[in-house]
Amino acid sequence: MKTLRYSAVMAAAIAWTSGMAQAELTLSVLIDNNPETIASMEAVTAAYTAANPEVTFDIEQRAGGADGDNIVKTRLATGEMADIFNYNSGSLFQALKPQETMADLTAIEGQANVLDSFKQVVTAPDGTVRGVPFGPAMGGGIFYNRKIYADLGLTVPKSWDEFMANNAKVAEAGKVPVITTFGDTWTSQLFVLGDYFNVQAEVPTFAAEYTANKAKYASTPAAMRGFEYLEAVFKANYMNEDFGVASFEDGMRMVATGEGAHYPMLTFGIGTVKQNHPDSLADLGFFAQPGPDAAKNGLTVWMPAALYVPAASPNAEEAIKFLNFVASVEGCNTMIGAAGASGPYLIKGCELPADVPPAVADMLPYFQTEGMTAPALEFLSPVKGPALEQITVEVGSGIRPAAEAAALYDQDVEKQAKQLGLPNW
Amino acid sequence: MSLRRDFARRRNTGILALLVATVIFILPFLYIFLMAVKTKQEASLFLFNWPSEWQAWQNLVDVVQTRNYMLLLAYFNSTVITVGAVTLLVIFGAMVGYVLQRRPSGWNKLIYACILIGLMVPPAIVPTIWVLQGLGLFKTIHGMIFIQVAYGLAFSVLLYRSFISTIPRDLDEAAIIDGAKPWQVFFKVILPLLKPVTVTLIVVQSIAIFNDFTNPLYYLPGKENVTVQLTLFNFQSQFQSQYNLLFMNILLVTIPPLLVFIFFNRQIVAGMTSGAVKG
């Protein structure tokens, strides 16, 4: 009798707490562990909870890079994904089979604010949009030291010939013209990947034909130029002496403090300078990778990651309401306030503050003029070979000539295209 | 004359061995320590030099306080997983090894094959998660303990089986004649005799489980389920890393296994030699 009464009380208690849980919803969020991502997400969730006190968030962090890919894929496959998660857009997004695993976000209110250039990199093969942008866009180009440029009276180059002429003057002055950091092999790819604006300015159909196995790096002179640039820099002996072992951190230090003049890199490097050399931040400048034609120079852009809702989420409705907030101007301003502005956000009407670091300010004009930016190839085509960084290290170290390297890279991507089951490979 | 030369040669080899040991064991540790006490600006240079500004206490406090004292929770979780898994490994490893060694039967070959498969075939992650989900063990600490036991059991059984073969059967028989029940034979007579190999197993497995990174990464998601190795991700990310805090974290994570080693050092050496004499 006693146990019966006890269990009745227990049942009532359980019913009561579950009633509470329905009124007060907790959304789980899985994000990568970049300091900027964490700061943005914490700020934007706090702002949302302040406006909607019944919704709280449980933020969990995961690794980035290859480990992160595995975690996201494993959790989607086993149905253990959080209600909201962030992940790369472009070809990595396509690899998650978005049409099966993610909720359709085409018609949600927030999409009205998202720039079309971003929508195309989170569109599933069936034509539906599956994500909203989270974080600033990055540019791939060349960092330069403003002090060296001022001292030597140089101007920002628009064409490759001007760039090499600047390098000659820098070398004469006894500084390193092009900082090269093959200790972190991924940094070697920038001349090839960052050149994509110039490639598509010359061959507008390259991405589509490349995916369809019609255009090749080795047979398209515009595309092969990226490899030739690496070779030219090596042959002119414009690199730092320790180029084989220097790391990404070394590279950012050298270009910020004026040990070297140029460093081809993505703009997220600004954050590293802000952390390790805050005094040199004002000396850091940025320009797009120069191409053959000064009149047709523009910036290759890496799109930000996106937030997605898994198709299996039981709280999809509330999660989508939150995404509407993230894609609003208010949400965008909240994130800029928390993480600083290292690049433009792809939300209509979301302006960056006036006091951004000079390297960011250098990047903005490209975005303000129509046709001055193009997404990097990896956002337009799912074909990217795994061995590119090894091949570019070989070219940049003078081990393999550019033409041979381009042909080798064409072979490398073939494996991946076949794995993806693309037609015509 | 020759005695003196002999002495000089021995002294020189001794000094050389010490130098080699210093380079291999002490220098990396010193490097971790020096990196851990630097400022983040200085740590990003990766130089093996004396820090110009000592920031040991500040870094320590930063690391411990990060993400709402995540490191302390991680120490607790890792300790529970390690102690739980090693306890089960010792008990079950010894039991299975004992039965396998003492009771020859037709099944032994099959069981032995299963153990070898367990040792050699790498586990697949997604199917294992399905099994855990089916059993309601996914995302739980005890589920993680069972995973570690499953991965380590084959090794412990092999270790125990070969060690038990050096214990004379006469001891079992004497105990039975004295009226011991089967479980008393195992727990009161055999298990205490296994102490040397048990200590070795505890050291090897607890260091492996405490330092395990990939298994908790996939089998134990959730922010309250964090283990010590996963806290390293707080300071190292794809684009931006805080190396001074990362190295301080590494230093803190290295301490528990070091303590285990110092604490059990005498027994490990004793275990090795006693095993050697018994052959």
DSSP string, A180-204: --TTSGGGGGHHHHTTHHHHHHH-T
DSSP string, A204-243: TTHHHHHHTT---TTT-HHHHHHHHHHHHHHHTT-B-TTT
Note whether A74 contacts B218, CB cutoff 8 Å.
yes
Question: What is the DSSP pairing of strand A373-375 with strand A176-178?
Answer: unpaired
Whether the pLDDT of residue A17 is over 90: the answer is no
Contact B205, B86 (CB under 8 A): yes
CA distances from A78 to A60, A67, B125, B134, B213 (A): 17, 16, 10, 11, 20
**Which residue of chain B is at minimal alpha-carbon distance from A64?**
B238
Q: Is residue A189 part of a domain?
A: yes
CATH number at residue A280: 3.40.190.10
Q: Is residue A151 part of a domain?
A: yes
In the chain, the amino acid numbered A151 is D
pLDDT value at residue A146: 96
| Structure tokens that stand for A24 in this block | 């007060």
Confidence band for A225, pLDDT divided at 50, 70 and 90: very high
Whether the pLDDT of residue B275 is over 60: the answer is no
What torsion, rounded to 10 degrees, do the Cα atoms B252, B254, B256, B258 define? -140
CA distances from A358 to A37, A158, A280, A402 (A): 22, 18, 11, 34
Note whether B233 contacts A65, CB cutoff 8 Å.
no
Please list, residue by residue across A77-108, b when 16 or more beta carbons sit within 10 angstroms of its beta carbon and e when fewer do: bbebbbbbbbbbbbbbbbbbebeebbbbbeeb
In the chain, the amino acid numbered B25 is F
- State ipTM: 0.75
Q: What whole-number distance in Å separates Cα of residue B205 and Cα of residue A179?
A: 46
Note whether B239 contacts A271, CB cutoff 8 Å.
yes
A34 touches B: beta carbon within 8 Å: yes
The owner of tokens 């570019």 is: A392
Q: What whole-number distance in Å separates Cα of residue B46 and Cα of residue B23?
A: 18
A123 is in which domain, residue-wise? 2-130+305-344
Mean pLDDT of B27-47: 90
Task: For A106-118, write each residue's pLDDT tens digit.
Answer: 999 999 999 888 9
Which residues of B lie closer than 8 Å to A, measured between beta carbons? Answer: 40-41, 44-46, 67, 125-126, 129-130, 133, 138-139, 217-218, 221-223, 233-234, 237-240, 242
First to last CA, chain A: 74
> For A382, which DSSP code?
S
In the chain, the amino acid numbered B257 is P
Whether the pLDDT of residue A13 is over 50: the answer is no
**Which residue of chain A is at minimal alpha-carbon distance from B47?**
A250
Could you tell me which of B145, B143, B263 has the C-alpha nearest to residue B199?
Answer: B263
Domain end residue (candidates: A344, A370, A398): A344
Same domain, A53 and A181: no
Task: For A346-387, write each residue's pLDDT tens digit.
Answer: 898 888 888 889 999 999 899 888 889 999 998 988 888 888
Q: What whole-number distance in Å separates Cα of residue A239 and Cα of residue A262?
A: 10
Contact A191, A226 (CB under 8 A): yes
Q: Structurally, how many domains does chain A consist of?
A: 2
Q: How many CB atoms lie within 10 A of CB A60?
A: 16
Mean pLDDT of B194-213: 90
Confidence band for B273, pLDDT divided at 50, 70 and 90: low
**Closest partner residue to A75 among B67, B221, B234, by Cβ?**
B221
A272 touches B: beta carbon within 8 Å: yes
pLDDT value at residue B60: 93
Note whether B223 contacts A59, CB cutoff 8 Å.
yes
The distance of A64 to chain B (nearest Cα, Å) reads 6
Note whether A63 contacts B133, CB cutoff 8 Å.
no
**Closest partner residue to B125 among A74, A253, A271, by Cβ?**
A74
Mean pLDDT of A136-149: 95
Q: Is residue A349 part of a domain?
A: no
> For A303, which DSSP code?
P
Q: Is residue A171 part of a domain?
A: yes
Q: Is residue A354 part of a domain?
A: no
Q: What whole-number distance in Å separates Cα of residue A182 and Cα of residue B152?
A: 39
Mean of the per-residue pLDDT values of chain B: 89
All residues of chain A having their beta carbon less than 8 Å from the beta carbon of residue B223 are 58-61
Whether the pLDDT of residue B272 is over 80: the answer is no
pTM for the structure as a whole: 0.80
Q: What whole-number distance in Å separates Cα of residue B259 and Cα of residue B252?
A: 12
Whether the pLDDT of residue A230 is over 60: the answer is yes
β-pair partners for A30:
A60, A85
Domains and CATH numbers, chain B: 59-278 (1.10.3720.10)
Whether the pLDDT of residue B119 is over 60: the answer is yes
Q: Is residue A352 part of a domain?
A: no
Q: Is residue A249 part of a domain?
A: yes
CA distances from B111 to A84, B99, B104, B179 (A): 46, 11, 11, 30
Same domain, A186 and A226: yes
Could you tell me which of A253, A339, A330, A277 has the C-alpha nearest to residue A304?
Answer: A339
Q: How many CB pairs under 8 A join A and B?
A: 74
Same domain, A152 and A126: no
The owner of tokens 């995302």 is: B139
Same domain, A44 and A173: no
Same domain, A331 and A410: no
Whether the pLDDT of residue A20 is over 50: the answer is no
Q: What whole-number distance in Å separates Cα of residue B158 and Cα of residue B112?
A: 9
Sequence-ordered list of residues with C-beta below 8 angstroms from that of A57, at least 6 positions apart, any chain: A26, A27, A28, A29, A45, A48, A49
Task: For A149-187, write each residue's pLDDT tens digit.
Answer: 999 999 999 999 999 999 999 999 999 999 999 999 999
First to last CA, chain B: 40
Same domain, A232 and A370: yes
Note whether A249 contacts B44, CB cutoff 8 Å.
yes
Note whether A32 contacts B238, CB cutoff 8 Å.
yes
Whether the pLDDT of residue A298 is over 60: the answer is yes
Same domain, A121 and A268: no
Q: Is residue A86 part of a domain?
A: yes
β-pair partners for A305:
A134
Same domain, A368 and A403: yes
**Which residue of chain B is at minimal alpha-carbon distance from A138?**
B239
In the chain, the amino acid numbered B3 is L
pLDDT value at residue B83: 95
Same domain, A327 and A392: no
Same domain, A196 and A273: yes
Q: What whole-number distance in Å separates Cα of residue A144 and Cα of residue A283?
A: 8
**Closest partner residue to A268 among B129, B130, B239, by Cβ?**
B239
Whether the pLDDT of residue A8 is over 50: the answer is no
Confidence band for B1, pLDDT divided at 50, 70 and 90: low
Residues 48-67 of A with CB under 8 A from B: 58-65, 67
Sequence-ordered list of residues with C-beta below 8 angstroms from that of A306, at least 6 positions apart, any chain: A86, A87, A88, A89, A93, A118, A122, A130, A131, A132, A133, A134
Same domain, A208 and A340: no
Helix, strand or coil for residue A127?
coil
pLDDT value at residue A382: 84
Same domain, A143 and A16: no
Note whether B223 contacts A67, CB cutoff 8 Å.
no
Q: What whole-number distance in Å separates Cα of residue B233 and Cα of residue B230?
A: 6
β-pair partners for A132:
A307
Contact A102, A93 (CB under 8 A): no
